[in-house]
Amino acid sequence: MNQSPETWLARVRHGERLPDEAALDVYLHAPIEDLRSAATAVRARFAAPQQVSLLVDRNVNYTNVCITDCKFCEFYRPPGHSESYVLTRDTLTAKLDELVAVGGTRVLLQGGHNPDLRLQWYVDLLRWMRADWPGLQLDAFSPSEIEHIAALEGISTPDVLRALTVAGLGGIPGGGAEILEDSIRDVVSPRKTRTRDWLRIMGEAQDLGLYTSASQVIGFGEEATHRLAALRAVREHQDSRESSGRLGFLAFVAWPLQFESRYGHVFGELKGWDLGADADAYLRHIAFCRVYLDNIPHFQASWPTMGLEVAGRALHHGCDDMGGIMMEENVVSQAGSIHCSVTEAEVREVILNAGFVPWKRDSWYRPSGSSA
């Protein structure tokens, strides 16, 4: 039946699912007021209408050495580069002690695909962190990093995940997804994890009881159909998990590509495309995602890429979470973002000014202070 975007969104507000055959028309043509209203209705199925969560964590990039050469990445350095690094235990100790001192509950570990770091290095790192900072939840190593470690060792990704979980791993971040549509990945990250494998590894992590999130970056020059194909892959994965009673994604976050280096390093090669997205395009996209991904509980506003003001507006476009405070950030800042460090007080103020009540959570979206 041919219906207008407004009619489809009215049906969503009354509890129906937006069907795939209507998705493109709604994405392109729905009035933003209708999208925002429908996104708010879907949000209310999972989160208290007047509450917004936040998390105090630290994003630690343990190495910038990478052999994958993604075309958009200004963070990585090839092996042997004068600016390449692997963080020492002393450096990590200082970072984690500072995180604990400000009441942090999670450390997010992500890095490049470093050919010199073997599985035992990661296992030893997690064991050490679990022993010395038992109160921190360890959210680490995106699916592409897991795949890289497995290839180095000549073992399966489930074997890698099991070893890391025994060592103390608690969750897998949604990094490395970029946009889960392989025709675009073939251009921007041709040596990185394919869509099917990214979702497969996330499913393996979920089978081990790890918390996971899904993500999407827009603004690689892709069309709306590519964005929708990527969202469909996530929705179908989540449907499959739910239908069999298994753990799925806890959260989703989207942001526009950051692509102008602040530091003069030009490793990325995307030139001449229609890159990134402005605030209005981001808000429209996140509202649509909240409507379409009606099976993922929580949606994060992306203040590191959009800034606090736009993130506050995103709370009225279906987002119920401000994500981590992130005491440091190195990846999107290398690519041009200037929104890379905020305080808990600043985030709480944004939430309050947007008309919501802030509450502090852990990685499982429980009130902070629950056991890790």
Instruction: Quote the tokens at residue 68.
Output: 């994958």
Instruction: Identify the sign of the CA torsion 253, 259, 261, 266.
Output: positive
What local confidence, expressed as pLDDT, does residue 30 receive?
A: 98
What local confidence, expressed as pLDDT, does residue 204 receive?
A: 98
What local confidence, expressed as pLDDT, does residue 342 receive?
A: 87
Which is nearest to 82 in space by CA: 333, 259, 265, 262? 265
CA-to-CA distance for 222 and 368, rounded, in angstroms?
A: 39
pLDDT in tens, 109-129: 999 999 999 999 999 999 999
What local confidence, expressed as pLDDT, does residue 333 receive?
A: 45
| C-alpha to C-alpha distances, 115 to 36, 119, 182, 288, nearest whole angstrom | 45, 11, 24, 39
What local confidence, expressed as pLDDT, does residue 340 receive?
A: 61
Q: Using DSSP bridges, classify how beta strands 251-256 and 211-218 pair: parallel, antiparallel or unpaired.
A: parallel
* Residue 10, domain member (yes or no): no
* Residue 45, domain member (yes or no): no
* Residue 216, domain member (yes or no): yes
Q: What CATH number should be reported for the domain holding residue 253? A: 3.20.20.70
* Residue 31, domain member (yes or no): no
What local confidence, expressed as pLDDT, does residue 368 receive?
A: 85
What local confidence, expressed as pLDDT, does residue 74 receive?
A: 86
* Residue 6, domain member (yes or no): no
DSSP 331: H
Tokens 């918390």, located at residue = 211
What local confidence, expressed as pLDDT, does residue 258 receive?
A: 80
Instruction: Quote the tokens at residue 85.
Output: 């690094």
Q: How many domains does the chain have?
A: 1
What local confidence, expressed as pLDDT, does residue 329 receive?
A: 46
What local confidence, expressed as pLDDT, does residue 1 receive?
A: 59
What local confidence, expressed as pLDDT, does residue 328 receive?
A: 62
* Residue 23, domain member (yes or no): no
Task: Provide the edge-to-edge strand list for the sheet that holds 251-256.
Answer: 57-61, 106-110, 137-140, 171-172, 211-218, 251-256, 298-300, 321-324, 51-55, 357-360
Low-confidence ranges of the chain (pLDDT < 70): 1, 259-274, 326-340, 369-372
What sections of 56-118 are H helices per DSSP?
89-101
Find the domain containing 131 and state its range: 51-360
* Residue 260, domain member (yes or no): yes
Give the pTM.
Answer: 0.93
CA-to-CA distance for 148 and 143, rounded, in angstroms?
A: 9
* Residue 14, domain member (yes or no): no
What sections of 244-343 are H helices per DSSP?
279-292, 303-306, 308-314, 331-334
